[in-house]
Amino acid sequence: MPTTANTNVATNIDIDSDLISPDQLAQYHDEGYMILERVIPDDMLQMMREECSYLIGYIDCMMDYEKKDVLGLNHRRNRYFMTSKYNPQSRIWHFTFSELMAQITKAALGPEVYLFNEQWVVKGAEKGMKFGWHQDSGYVKHADPTTTHQPYLTCWCTLDDVCEENGSVYILPHSRAGTKDKIFDHTQENATNDLIGYTGDDPGIPVIAPAGSIVAFSSYAFHRSGSNNTDKMRRIYLGQYSTNPIRNTDGTVWSQDVHFIKDGQRVFDPHTDTFEYKTSNR
């Protein structure tokens, strides 16, 4: 139980102050990010690591079958982006639609929340590739240049301790990048296919945090990540949530549009959810 509650003044929702302090929430709204250390319970963390191992094996098998070492953004033992993998057989949805995620998403977004996208980002030991400066919304805009979507929330959940040596994420606060209300144009980098939206010399703020932490940041905030130079994998689960379904200008859903919170209450129901696989434009 919270010892005290603070309130998201924009939406009048009470927030558990043991989870998110008023200062953290203010920083999210002003600068576009907040870092919540060690908030994922140990049993949940272990479950997510097991699901992650299964998915890496699954992608490796697909590469074996196709006799390739690169499939989309997945590079064998190097960098994996595994998208839209929650399904009734896996246990992933227990985390994606957990009370913990309900608390964080309501604090950031208010009483209406949809799952927009979910993916795993794994960097292999000693060679996990870097990822270039971008706004997550920059990927939406690149695919749909006339998009008018509101900022959505990325929850970057650490399954391992993260530091500069193993390829952690770096964030550029809104006030240093002019991103509070703006999606910049991004260009595609040839060698990696990454979209790049910032080429300035601000290195950003490195996130150094233990396993079980969540960095919650706005899809308008610029971020990048380094390469993994350690002898262990760096594993992240990334859930993205929006205040309403994000559609392409032609009306099609961009990635997912699963109703999670309605009028401040959790409404996700695994018995009625279609668990439909939808490819994002990533």
Ligand X SMILES: O=C(O)CCC(=O)C(=O)O
Residue closer to ligand X, measured from CB, 13 or 215: 215
Give the C-alpha separation, 130 to 36, whole Å.
Answer: 23
Q: How far is the CB of 84 from ligand X (least distance, A)?
A: 13
Binding mask 103-132 for ligand X (x = CB under 6 A): ------------------x---------x-
Residue closer to ligand X, measured from CB, 25 or 195: 195
Residue closer to ligand X, measured from CB, 13 or 167: 167
Q: Which of 108, 236, 246, 261 binds ligand X (CB under 6 A)?
A: 236
- Residues 136-175, interacting with ligand X (CB under 6 A): 136, 167, 169
Tokens of 253: 């859903």
Residue closer to ligand X, measured from CB, 14 or 161: 161
Residue 44 neighbours by CB under 8 Å, 6+ apart:
94, 95, 98, 100
Give the C-alpha separation, 85 to 123, whole Å.
Answer: 18
Give the C-alpha separation, 134 to 224, whole Å.
Answer: 6
Tokens of 105: 């998403």
Give the C-alpha separation, 105 to 111, whole Å.
Answer: 9
Is residue 233 at the binding interface for ligand X, with CB under 6 A as the rule?
no
Q: Which of 75, 186, 223, 235 binds ligand X (CB under 6 A)?
A: 223
Q: Residue 172: which of 148, 139, 206 has the closest Cα?
A: 206
Residue closer to ligand X, measured from CB, 56 or 121: 121
CB 86 within 8 A of CB 92: yes
Instruction: Give the binding site for ligand X (CB under 6 A).
Output: 121, 131, 136, 167, 169, 223, 225, 236, 238
